[in-house]
A and B are shown apart, each in its own frame.
Chain A
Amino acid sequence: MEKEELRIGVFVCKCGSNIAGSLDVEGLAEYASTLPNVVYAPWNLYTCADAGLEEIKKGIKEHNLNRVVVASCSPRTHEPLFRSVCGEAGMNPYFFEMVNIRDQCSWVHQDKAQAESSMDKARDLIRMGAAKAALLEPQEIITSEVEVRALVIGGGIAGLTAAISLGNRGFPVILLEKEKELGGMLRSLYRLAPMDLDASEVINAKIKEAEDNPNIEIYTGATIEKVEGFIGKFDITFSANGTSKYVRLGVVIIATGAGNLVPEGMYQYDGDKVITQWELEERFKAGKVDANNVVIIQCVGARSPERRYCSRICCAIGIKNAILIKERNPEAKVHILYRDLMMYGVENEDQLRKAKELGVRFVKYDPERPPVVEENKVTVFHHLMGKELEIPQEMVVLSTPLVGTEDGVKIGNLFRAGLDQNKFFLEAHVKLRPLDCGTDGIFICGSAHYPKDVRESIMQALGAVSRASIPLSQGEVKIEPIVTTLVNKDACRGCGLCVALCPYNALEIRDTDEGRKVNIITVACKGCGVCAATCYRHALSINSFTDYQMEAQIHSFMAA
């Protein structure tokens, strides 16, 4: 390829007074124009406004620019916009480089005494940006086909909702459940708060809907054995009822749910007189709840050094069951011993009020002085009244948290989906990507993510389906080309050092005509660069973050 002459355009943004308030933007633009290879360096009031964007396009055309540097704000928010504008003007979008003189200069160096050094810094940053821009290389957006089929793991309320919703959109779905029957945790529950619905009715209706849906293939007694591939092309081997099956699919929804903590050794738990909420639900179902004095203890085994998290749903469950007892037997005395009440939402608030109206007693205890369960009574230090209470009991119910499961850990390892220390699945970003896993093409819903009630599980399942539908309905995925490339194929010895370190399974060794070489699965690569920093033959590099570009930035800084 013939080396064309470098023509860099630097656009310095005033961002209203955001940048111009403490930096001499015009001076910066003038400085930029003196830099090597810079042929055009104007300033704008708002580069990201229509006028500013037009100016970039005009600049590219009129000055024949082949590299663009914008000195403005954060690439997190504006890089995609400027990139696409460069693309519209006919330049390869990856000939664009962004310098952040707002978040890194004007905002954080407003002190008058820093005015001159702040200008120095802004000049350095622009110079470094231009130096990197000079070495940028063109990239093409990568696309990869998506197999239009989804996998839903877990046949509880979240998994069923997700499968039905995907099926209704016309996508083929494979639903795997490890138990013999669908339904998950709801099968063992009695009535659901706050609407007082029959749990079996809710779940049976869902199961029927799923079974009737022609797009859903259901496998019970299933375990996943092997997972290979990446978004669009997951190759999965699972066994169900003794036979092994292989499928290729595009996206995965994890809805493996959670487990119940068995509070062995806490509060004299014996499963007979001292039971958990889950055992109480079973007794309700069997119609075997007749105690007159009931004490419910909240936060058993939760918000403790071992499990620091709040299981959120137990307060609602405890209060719901207290109401159920009171409604059946108004003479019954029900005490709820709590630490804090987590009764969010209008309906839950109403429930709390209703419980109080029905005469359920609430006692706040101090975790430092937990209640003591004895034969026929519970002794508790009332944290608000500041005195010891003795409450007679015939039955003690412990509200235990939902806990992450070993099955979840297994699934997490298979799919390289991260879990937190409590064995719940981690989202890619708490606020920006709350339904996605860190690995593309994998989504989470239900209590596998965090303890949730039925309503929230359904909401999250529907949300996850809408995220999962994007690649399914587009039929292909587009990937930022900021990925690893094998820049020097001759140098690669196929040693596999990089393969072992790749956190995304994006590298593999293949036998080629030229010997063993690394092959990059671009779709799976996230561009972290561990491989390039490791390769002892310097055969790998990261697009737009090459060693040369980083060194050029440093050299340019030192050249001042």
Chain B
Amino acid sequence: MQYTTDIRVIRIMCTGRMDPAVMADAFVHGLDGLLVLGCLFGECHYVSGNFNARHKINMTKEMLAYAGMNPGRLSFRNLSSAESELFVKHVTDFSAEIRELGPLGGEADRVPLPKLREKLEIARTALAGPKLRWVVGKKPVFIDTGNKYQEVFTEHEINRTLGGIVVDEMATHSILAALQNKPASVKELAKELEIPAPETLKYVLGLKRRGFLEMESVKDHTPLYKYVEQEG
């Protein structure tokens, strides 16, 4: 049994341990490809860890793709510990796929470096943030047993919601990141972040309502907003 030397192995107890923020962090630091290998579905050594992993990895993929990275760089594949040949096939295939894509920030990715790194960093913050983690954490519960009111949701319903949150979270975290540098007006933010101004206004007002932003000063009748340090 021989295979490519392209891979480096990091041991985790269960794919359920794969934290979305850690996966994003790897790409922020320039990793070209990340392959998560876990048990077969239904044969998870930790009962349901790989199902949780699948939800998290799918979400991370969507987020990183939205940030401009080629989603092929992150992959989740399954095999049993006795299937050495399948292991070889997975790592060989994945290595070939990543070589095809080339280094991070190249032609295969929608956004080039160094802009991509900035965007991935924002994606990492969003993936470490509460909203996406809550929804993805509740996903298996909502699909299986439903919410507190016994309303069971279908997977595609939740995926649709998650898709919307990815867009929102990317926008809000971009705004927060931009305002951490310096106070800015809605117009300036919209221009810098390439988000339509009416939408930017709504995000800014929403953030202000939740106490993330406050008005710094008014310049030429235009309010400038600044970031408010969060506690805890």
Chain A residues packing against B (C-beta within 8 Å): 75, 100, 104-105, 107-111, 114, 117-118, 120-121, 124-125, 128, 416, 418, 438, 482, 490-491, 497-498, 500-501, 503-504, 526-530, 532-538, 542, 545, 547, 550-551, 553-555, 557-558
Contact = CB atoms under 8 A, between A and B. Distances in A.
Interface residues of B, number: 43
Given A497-B137, A530-B46, A128 B12 contact: no
Interface stretch (B22-30, B108-116, B201-209): B22-30
A547 B22 contact: yes
Contact of A501 (B22, B25, B140): B140
| Central interface residue in A416, A501, A528, A553, by most chain B CB within 10 Å | A528
B75 interface: no
15 contacts: A105-B5, A107-B1, A109-B5, A490-B232, A504-B47, A528-B16, A529-B14, A530-B46, A533-B52, A538-B128, A550-B22, A551-B26, A554-B26, A554-B29, A558-B31
A71 to B, nearest CB: 13
Interface string B37-78: 000000001111100100010000000000000000000000
Contacts of A105: 5
B137 A501 contact: yes
Interface in B134-189: 134, 136-138, 140-141
Contacts of A121: 5, 7-8
B90 interface: no
Nearest to B91: A108
A554 B18 contact: no
Given A128-B8, A416-B47, A528 B13 contact: yes
A554 B2 contact: no
Nearest to A76: B81
A491 B21 CA distance: 17
B8 A124 contact: yes
A535 B26 contact: no
Interface of B: 1-3, 5, 7-14, 16-22, 25-26, 29-31, 45-49, 52, 56, 128-131, 133-134, 136-138, 140-141, 232
B46 A528 contact: yes
Contacts of B20: 533
Given A109-B2, A555-B29, A533 B19 contact: yes
B184 to A, nearest CB: 28
Contacts of B22: 547, 550-551, 554
Contacts of A537: 130
A93 to B, nearest CB: 17
A529 B130 contact: no
Nearest to A114: B5
